Chain A
């Protein structure tokens, strides 16, 4: 047989190129991983933890934020508190008597409620309790509209009204009720308040915007004056104003409440605290996302490690596949396919676990479950990207392996 160099073109003419279908790449990858189940599962677990933590962080942060926004929406951001400053140079702890009336005259102010701390009065479960054991519970004289102004709710019994405000009747804040051991208003529950018996007519739910009142026993202004000798001088005034004019109202509140010494008046917007909490949550979210990212990176290194070992272990398989007609690209696609499959399984698993964690936590906290779709899509996308990067080097290494070397070692 003669050898003719001009044969070149004819040589390639009837040589149909090697082919490997996408479906076969997937099938080969599935079998490749299935034959090394434990190793595959462990390396997918690395990615899964990373993705799950990121999805859960985003889900929890989003769920908590939506809960916070719902809370703000429910409570309103238009509540302002006006309090008398205390301390040297900061005031006597009392507001002028007509402060509430003055504030009510500000145009956008919708409603005002007065609270007056009853000095020297404490509340006890019985008259046998020593004077010193006050339990940190204060006695506050309040107007009947306070509950509406604060958006509070009654857990048990009822709130003070025009009639009960004149009698020795009290409504306990949630913490105060717990400390006094009053769980119900059924029958006649009495407490020893300012050296006489007061009837507990109601127990309140927790106030979300004014936690001070949770630790207070509330009595009517008239009853405070009559039975406890209170002068009804306001120590705090709760104000609801038109939301659009809230900043303007805040600006003039101090001067209106106490024109003589406005610097002795403290004006707060309690919803600011909730908003600050949201901002703090955001900072934590960023931190945890960063940690999730590190976990993901470690997962990616795990996959790269497993794939490099796999390439070394499967040299004979690589040699065999080259002998069967695989091109370098086919060999690379097989190993890259395995890395991508591992990462995808980890990614999908991670998104599912992330959802589950969010669901469990949010349900436990009584929040609505909200996982942003970008977390799910981004999670799987990130996993695949990590898989691609992690699989690239081992795949190239497998492809570059000389078939004769691969078969000799095998």
Chain B
């Protein structure tokens, strides 16, 4: 599978505060289907803003964002929700699992807004949990899981709808080194199976291990290893 699933063209974002904050100053790049890359930068570099714009949670001040063939600027708020429900999966640093739910239902909720029936959602969730190696924990309530397990559940939830892209925001930020390595390993495996994964991180070590990394500083692209030979 190939072809762009995400394209950014001269994307800027200015927050209308006093004084205005220019978080992104003209960012352009393409991401092809099946890629695994990192967007790396120190805090304040515009990573979070970029994540929100790529995830259609926020709109750019100017420029174009095209996701799975849909130009975001042409879509209404409702259409953006539809786009997120079918084409974008999110993994957050804080996991954001729903505490009253089991691991299975947390994953199944990844499909909640697609209109799929509950039984089908659970079936797909069971498969996704098996894929991240947590089939044996599916009936456990989210609060009883370890940090690494929670992040695996969150990854399963992001993947369960087979989205065009998965956006992982500091997925290892709350985990110890060993668990972090395991999570990065899992992301690599999932990518090898065809998922397009974008990891947003401040950790250069993680970024360097990825096939491609885009360095961000003060809202502009500092470097993009696309096309460069991977070391």
Interface residues of A (CB under 8 A from B): 1, 3-5, 7-8, 10-12, 14-21, 23-24, 27-28, 31-32, 34-35, 316-317, 319-330, 402-404, 407-408, 410
Known A-B contacts A23-B118, A324-B110, A325-B82; A11 and B52 likewise in contact (beta carbons under 8 Å): no
Q: Are A19 and B115 in contact (CB under 8 A)?
A: yes
Q: Are A19 and B113 in contact (CB under 8 A)?
A: yes
CB distance from B35 to the nearest CB of A (A): 14
Q: Are B85 and A31 in contact (CB under 8 A)?
A: no
Which residues from B are CB-within-8-Å of A14? 69
Q: Are B96 and A18 in contact (CB under 8 A)?
A: no
Distance A171 CA – B57 CA, assembled complex (angstroms): 92
Q: Are A15 and B74 in contact (CB under 8 A)?
A: no
Distance A167 CA – B197 CA, assembled complex (angstroms): 114
CB distance from A327 to the nearest CB of B (A): 4
Q: Are A18 and B82 in contact (CB under 8 A)?
A: yes
Q: Are B98 and A317 in contact (CB under 8 A)?
A: yes
Q: Are A326 and B81 in contact (CB under 8 A)?
A: yes
Interface residues of B (CB under 8 A from A): 4, 7, 9, 30, 48, 52, 55, 57-58, 64, 66, 69-71, 74-75, 77-79, 81-86, 88, 90, 92, 94, 96, 98-101, 109-110, 112-115, 117-118, 157
Which residues from A are CB-within-8-Å of B30? 1
Known A-B contacts A5-B71, A407-B92; A324 and B85 likewise in contact (beta carbons under 8 Å): yes
CB distance from A260 to the nearest CB of B (A): 89
Q: Are B82 and A17 in contact (CB under 8 A)?
A: yes
B73 and chain A: residue at smallest CB distance: A5
Q: Are B74 and A7 in contact (CB under 8 A)?
A: yes
A14 and chain B: residue at smallest CB distance: B69
Task: Kindly identify which residue among A15, A24, A34, A319 contacts B79, using a CB–CB cutoff of 8 Å.
Answer: A15
Distance A316 CA – B117 CA, assembled complex (angstroms): 25
Q: Are A324 and B113 in contact (CB under 8 A)?
A: yes
Task: Kindly identify which residue among A16, A21, A317, A320 contacts B82, using a CB–CB cutoff of 8 Å.
Answer: A16
B143 and chain A: residue at smallest CB distance: A35
Distance A15 CA – B114 CA, assembled complex (angstroms): 11
Distance A402 CA – B56 CA, assembled complex (angstroms): 12
A27 and chain B: residue at smallest CB distance: B118
Which residues from B are CB-within-8-Å of A1? 4, 7, 30, 66
Q: Are A325 and B86 in contact (CB under 8 A)?
A: yes
Known A-B contacts A11-B70, A325-B86, A326-B113; A316 and B99 likewise in contact (beta carbons under 8 Å): no
Distance A1 CA – B30 CA, assembled complex (angstroms): 7
Distance A23 CA – B115 CA, assembled complex (angstroms): 11
Which residues from B are CB-within-8-Å of A403? 52, 57-58
Which residues from A are CB-within-8-Å of B117? 21
Q: Are A323 and B114 in contact (CB under 8 A)?
A: no
Distance A403 CA – B55 CA, assembled complex (angstroms): 11
Given contacts A323-B90, A327-B113, 16 further A-B contacts (CB under 8 A): A7-B69, A8-B71, A11-B69, A15-B70, A15-B86, A16-B86, A17-B82, A18-B81, A20-B112, A24-B112, A24-B118, A27-B118, A317-B98, A319-B57, A328-B77, A329-B78
Task: Kindly identify which residue among B71, B83, B100, B157 contacts A35, using a CB–CB cutoff of 8 Å.
Answer: B100
A328 and chain B: residue at smallest CB distance: B77
Distance A325 CA – B109 CA, assembled complex (angstroms): 10
Known A-B contacts A1-B7, A323-B90; A20 and B113 likewise in contact (beta carbons under 8 Å): yes
Q: Are A11 and B71 in contact (CB under 8 A)?
A: yes
CB distance from B56 to the nearest CB of A (A): 9
